[in-house]
Structure 1
């Protein structure tokens, strides 16, 4: 089929980073307009806040994570990877899910549930099958975590669809947090060696303890609050200890690497805020725990990864030019606007929401303008994929 051979469908990151950039422009702005009362709430089965939370994790977030895993898993097990019609099906399912979540409030269950679950069910099954089938040749033995996490994402999704939104949302955040911890552990080791010729601390017991504690927190909805707080504090402490052995002073001399360290610190900070929420009657303005993760980890790490993967996997040299660096600074500003300023000036909360959404949209709009054309064209080094 001629369409299936288009460069967009050669590797998973191409269609899904395209969708992620577009979602990164549309979803936050739509939410800010809904929150301000300038747009009607989506015709959804969920409240507008729940719709926003779902879409940022399962819409935007899974477009990024799906593109990353579809690309990485083929490299981890050394196979061709899903392409052509398989990617077209996944992209269509992702689009149908966005429509169902925004406009399917009156749909019958027999239509809404498959439409809202087809994308995640299909991509999780395909990725798990790749990792299980090629387990013997997998270059990362701890990819067993992804074999566990992929069906766990389906459990989180089922909880959301079944009406237990708090449990499903908390589980989704914990799963994304664990996925980011695994990704940062692997990539920062490589980036620091390539950029500064230094080896950051990699201790098998410490690394595994961090990942296992992160995995336990996936079941937070079933744990006593005191135990959740203790585990979150322990994980934050381990992350802090490891951070000081990861050469942060060097990393922060380069924005393209330093911003990933910001994401790492945001995860630790989110764990501390979450733990505090379980043990003290402390009120933050504007869901600080969630937004420390969404803006601090996802918002800071994802643009840098899109630039690296889009450049490297299209045959280009991985160099951050002035425009690439600028969008990273914009996202850092958006993080401060969304998390810090509401604590200082809560009376201007609507303004902070609008500015943060504008910063997010500007970041991903710029990435879309610069990188979607690359994703639509063949590699420049002559390789097929």
Structure 2
């Protein structure tokens, strides 16, 4: 007979797999850095074979798809992953993790598939859902903590959402606008975000890493550089008279160059985690100068926007997704030949892409293929090195 007085203890099933509890979903940077790098490595070759006529049956892989996915697919994934991690640090409160984070990552992935496989209206609905569902939890955490200083960053996310709405409305011919205009506006918004965040972190990174080096920062110059950048962006988006818009762009160029010079970038040569950020920020200076030249009619606008997007955006992304992945997985902020190779490959790819628009137009496809090989190789190497870091628990045993 069974003894009813026996105490039965149900032991946990330690071998049971729980998807939502995977280390990959413990903090926002983990899934979104991984997905963004994977998407970067795959999407550019996919676009290029379609562009050169080697993939004629997938009509959705047009120029609109390429532009949209580089901004609202690749870059936005990194921005959300970074902000989720940064807000956690700023507030001390948890942002999305576990199943909610996994669900948001799956929504982002669904958006990428929808942009290729589904009719444009359905793709728009799925794609547009991502920013609000990512931003609302960030807003809730910031509001709860009282950390109102960072609310303007959510305002930039709202503007990015609006740019995405205009893109889809233009693509569906609900608005008499070119989808290009929405993408260019989104790129300029991201450059504004880069300027704000870089001013917060890059000087501090250098001061902590290089003994005796104190980058000179000026609150007045920071504000002036931001104001001039906003004016340059408005000058382009609102299609102000060319002379006025060019003055804004060249003024913003000077302010950003002065800001970078005061950060003493030449001192970072022995520190790859630093020089990649300084070099990539330098592409903002180049891109704004090229934007002014485009406004005066000397070069194509796409040259300026590739300098801003491929140059500054992808460079800062690669620099930050290596640095923050190391720091937030409990590793030392030290890199070796692998990261240096990633950084150099990306810079060669950037130069090749710019040259495809300028000097080597007669060999455009060759330059594009070189840019694609370098770009994809850089992000494939990132995946080879960092997937184990992103998919395993922190080395120091801490949460996150």
TM-score, scaled relative to structure 1? 0.91
Counterpart of 1:126 in structure 2 is 137
The one-character-per-residue Cα deviations of 1:5-50 (angstroms, maximum 9, x if unpaired) are 1101100000000101101111111111111111136443xx7111
Counterpart of 2:12 in structure 1 is none
Match of 1:237, SS?
helix
Question: What does 1:221-240 correspond to in 2, within 5 Å?
Answer: 221-226=237-242, 227-240=244-257
Alpha-carbon distance in 2 for matches of 1:115, 1:43: 19
Alpha-carbon distance in 1 for matches of 2:101, 2:196: 24
Deviation, structure 1 residue 218: 4.7
Alignment size in residue pairs: 374
Deviation, structure 1 residue 119: 1.1
The one-character-per-residue Cα deviations of 1:94-123 (angstroms, maximum 9, x if unpaired) are 11111121122x35x3x3332121112211
2:232–2:252 Cα contact (<8 Å) kept? no
2:228–2:252 Cα contact (<8 Å) kept? yes
Q: Which has the larger radius of gyration?
A: 2
2:38–2:380 Cα contact (<8 Å) kept? yes
Residue of structure 2 aligned with 1:181, choices 171, 181, 195: 195
Are positions 1:191 and 2:191 aligned together?
A: no
Q: Which deviates further from its counterpart, 157-166 or 14-23?
A: 157-166
Alpha-carbon distance in 1 for matches of 2:195, 2:267: 20
1:299–1:360 Cα contact (<8 Å) kept? no
2:163–2:183 Cα contact (<8 Å) kept? yes
Task: Structure 1 unaligned segments of length 5 or more: list them.
Answer: none
Counterpart of 1:255 in structure 2 is 272
Deviation, structure 1 residue 128: 3.2
Deviation, structure 1 residue 367: 0.6
Are positions 1:150 and 2:157 aligned together?
A: yes
Change over 3 Å in CA distance of 1:306–1:182 after alignment to 2: same
Alpha-carbon distance in 1 for matches of 2:46, 2:333: 33
Residue of structure 1 aligned with 2:95, choices 66, 81, 84: 81
Alpha-carbon distance in 1 for matches of 2:307, 2:34: 25
Counterpart of 2:13 in structure 1 is none
The one-character-per-residue Cα deviations of 1:249-285 (angstroms, maximum 9, x if unpaired) are 2023433312211111111111111111112x2234x
Counterpart of 1:213 in structure 2 is 228
1:314–1:374 Cα contact (<8 Å) kept? yes
Are positions 1:273 and 2:280 aligned together?
A: no
2:217–2:262 Cα contact (<8 Å) kept? no
Alpha-carbon distance in 2 for matches of 1:357, 1:153: 26
The one-character-per-residue Cα deviations of 1:304-340 (angstroms, maximum 9, x if unpaired) are 2111111111111110111111111111111221113
1:128–1:150 Cα contact (<8 Å) kept? no
Counterpart of 1:27 in structure 2 is 43
Change over 3 Å in CA distance of 1:380–1:21 after alignment to 2: same
Change over 3 Å in CA distance of 1:175–1:374 after alignment to 2: same
Deviation, structure 1 residue 238: 0.6
1:342–1:348 Cα contact (<8 Å) kept? no
Alpha-carbon distance in 2 for matches of 1:121, 1:250: 41
Alpha-carbon distance in 2 for matches of 1:275, 1:18: 35
Match of 1:40, SS?
coil
Match of 1:244, SS?
helix
Deviation, structure 1 residue 383: 0.9
Deviation, structure 1 residue 201: 1.9
Counterpart of 1:289 in structure 2 is 304
When the two chains are superposed, the root-mean-square deviation of aligned CA atoms in Å is 2.0
The one-character-per-residue Cα deviations of 1:48-92 (angstroms, maximum 9, x if unpaired) are 111101000111111111111111111112212211122112111
Question: What does 1:17-96 correspond to in 2, within 5 Å?
Answer: 17-40=33-56, 42-44=58-60, 48-96=62-110
1:174–1:218 Cα contact (<8 Å) kept? yes
Match of 1:379, SS?
coil
Change over 3 Å in CA distance of 1:361–1:242 after alignment to 2: same
Counterpart of 2:117 in structure 1 is 103
2:360–2:367 Cα contact (<8 Å) kept? no
TM-score, scaled relative to structure 2? 0.88
